[in-house]
C-alpha cells in the first residue's frame, strides 16, 4: 500500500482553502489517500519569524488581490472574509477531535469549515459558528462543545503542530509526498508530476 | 501598439533566473515585448521587512531544495552558486548602463550574467567577473568598468529601484502586465491566461 499524502493547512489560509478543494481529487488520480492536518500558523510563525500576509508592507496588499485572482483562476468560490485572518484553534480542535473517531467525516467537517469561512463569511474562530457547521453535518452540538473545551484535544492539536514543525512545515498549504515537501497551492503541478513519475 | 510587459528581477534570485529563461518566449506568443528591470532586493527588503530566503528558519532549507527541484521541473540548467546570495549592484549597474544605448543587447547581457552566476558559478558581485561576461558579448572592458564606477549609473539604478517600490514590487521575479501585478515564476500560468484573455 502506498503511503498517505500529508496535507497541512491553517483554516485562516486562503491558499490552504484553495488547496483543500483540490488535494483529494489530485491524490485519487494516482490512487493515493490524503491525511489532513490542521495546523496553527500563529505558532509556526514563532519559529520562522513569519507574519500573516496582510501585515506585510506591499506583499500584504498584493496578497489580498492575489487571493481573489487565484481563486478565480482555479474556478473556486471565494470571498475575502471579515475578520481576516483569524485564530484557528477552534476549527482545528473540532477537526482533530473528530479524526479520533471518524477520519472521513473529519475531512468533511474540515471542508465545511473552510467553506463556512471563505464562502459564507462565518467567523469560525467563534465556537458557536464552528458548532453550527458541525451540527449541519449531523454531529452532536454538546459533544463538539465538550471537545472544544477538552484539555486532551488541546494537547493533541499542540502535539500535531509540534510534529509538523519537526517535519519542516512552515506554511499553508504544505504537502508531503513520500518525504518530499511542497509548499503552496502553486506547487500542485510539481506534486502531480511527482505522483506520476516518482520524482525527477 | 500593446504596452510593454515589465519584468523585475534581482540577479541573485533563483526564481528570477528561472523566470528570465521563460519571460521573452511567453511574451512573444502574445506578440508582446518585455522591458527588463534589474532591482536590488536588499533595498526592497528595507521597506517590506523581508529577508533573503536562506536566512529564514525552515523556509530557507526548503527553498534551497525547491530551487533545484523547480529548475529541473522547468528544464532549466541550474546549480546553486557559492557565495549565495550576493549583492547585485554590479551586474544591475552594468545592465542599466547598457540599456541607455542598446536595450536588446542589455537583455543579452542580463541573460549572460544570470547564466554566469547560476550555471557557471561565477560570483558576478565582483566587478572583474561582470566585466568578463560583458567582454565575451563584445563590450569594451574599460567602458563597462567606467560605467560601474559612474555616479550617474548608480543614481539611475537607485531611481529605478524606487520606482519599482512605488509600483508595489516587493520580490523577484515580479511581472506587471497592463497594470496587473504577478509575483513569482509560479504565476506564469496566470500571466499566460491574462495575456490570452485580458483578465478573468
Whether B20 has a pLDDT exceeding 90, the answer reads yes
Task: For chain A, positions 136-165, list CB contacts with chain B under 8 A.
Answer: 165
**Mean pLDDT, rounded, of chain A:** 96
Q: Return the percentage of chain A with pLDDT > 90, whole number.
A: 92
Q: What is the pLDDT of residues B62-104, one digit of tens each?
A: 999 999 999 999 999 999 999 999 999 999 999 999 999 999 9
* pLDDT at site A73: 96
Residues of A in contact with B171 (CB under 8 A): 59
CB pairs under 8 A between A and B: 73
Return the residue of A nearest to B50 by Cα: A56
Instruction: Considering only the beta carbons, identify the residue of A48, A66, A186 that sits closest to B58.
Output: A48
Q: CA nearest B75: which of A184, A26, A190? A: A190
Global confidence as pTM: 0.95
Return the residue of B nearest to A67 by Cα: B182
Q: Find out whether B130 and B91 touch, Cβ atoms under 8 Å.
A: yes
Q: What is the pLDDT of residues A7-63, one digit of tens each?
A: 999 999 999 999 999 999 999 999 999 999 999 999 999 988 888 888 899 999 999
Q: Is A23 helix (H, G, I), strand (E, B) or coil?
A: helix
User: Using 50, 70 and 90 to split pLDDT, how confident is the model at B1?
Assistant: low
* pLDDT at site A1: 60
* pLDDT at site A200: 79
Task: For chain A, positions 59-88, list CB contacts with chain B under 8 A.
Answer: 59, 61-62, 65-66, 69-70, 72-73
CA B171 to chain centre: 10
Question: Over chain B, what HEC string results?
Answer: CCCCEEEEECCCCHHHHHHHCCHHHHHHHCCCCEEEEECCHHHHHHHHCCCCHHHCCCHHHHHHHHHHHHHHHCCCCCCCCCCCCCCCHHHHHHHHHHHHHCHHHHHHHHHHHHHHHHCCCCCCCCHHHHHHHHHHCCCCHHHHHHHHCCHHHHHHHHHHHHHHHHCCCCCCCEEEECCEEEECHHHHHHHHHHHHHCCC
Q: What is the pLDDT of residues B141-171, one digit of tens each?
A: 999 999 999 999 999 999 999 999 999 999 9
Minimal Cα–Cα distance from B114 to chain A, Å? Answer: 24
Least confident stretch, A74-78, A112-116, B42-46, B94-98:
B42-46
Minimal Cα–Cα distance from B198 to chain A, Å? Answer: 13
Instruction: Considering only the beta carbons, identify the residue of A56, A72, A189 that sits closest to B200.
Output: A72
Reading across the β-sheet that carries B174-177, which strands appear in turn? B34-38, B5-9, B174-177, B180-183
Best of A49, A58, A198 to disrupt the B interface (most B CBs within 10 Å) is: A58
* pLDDT at site A62: 96
What is the interface pTM, i.e. ipTM, of the complex? Answer: 0.93
Whether A160 has a pLDDT exceeding 80, the answer reads yes
Least confident stretch, A68-77, A191-200, B43-52:
B43-52
A50 vs B: CB within 8 A: yes
Amino acid at each position: 500500500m502506498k503511503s498517505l499524502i500529508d496535507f497541512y493547512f491553517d483554516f485562516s489560509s486562503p491558499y490552504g482553502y484553495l488547496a483543500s478543494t483540490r488535494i483529494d481529487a489530485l491524490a485519487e488520480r494516482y490512487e493515493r489517500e490524503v491525511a489532513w492536518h490542521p495546523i496553527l500558523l500563529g505558532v509556526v510563525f514563532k519559529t520562522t519569524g513569519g507574519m500573516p500576509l496582510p501585515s506585510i508592507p506591499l506583499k500584504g496588499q498584493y496578497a489580498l488581490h492575489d487571493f481573489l485572482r487565484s481563486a478565480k483562476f482555479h474556478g473556486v468560490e471565494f470571498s475575502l472574509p471579515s475578520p481576516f485572518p483569524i485564530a484557528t484553534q477552534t476549527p482545528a480542535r473540532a477537526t482533530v477531535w473528530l479524526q479520533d473517531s471518524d477520519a472521513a467525516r473529519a475531512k468533511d467537517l474540515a471542508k465545511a469549515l473552510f467553506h463556512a469561512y471563505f464562502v459564507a463569511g462565518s467567523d469560525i474562530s467563534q465556537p458557536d459558528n464552528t458548532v453550527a457547521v458541525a451540527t449541519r453535518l449531523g454531529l452532536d452540538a454538546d459533544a463538539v462543545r465538550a471537545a472544544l473545551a477538552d484539555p486532551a484535544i488541546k494537547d493533541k492539536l499542540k502535539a500535531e503542530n509540534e510534529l509538523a514543525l519537526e517535519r519542516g512545515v512552515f506554511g499553508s498549504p504544505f504537502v508531503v509526498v513520500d518525504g518530499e515537501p511542497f509548499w503552496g497551492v502553486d506547487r500542485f503541478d510539481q506534486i502531480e508530476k511527482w505522483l506520476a513519475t516518482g520524482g525527477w
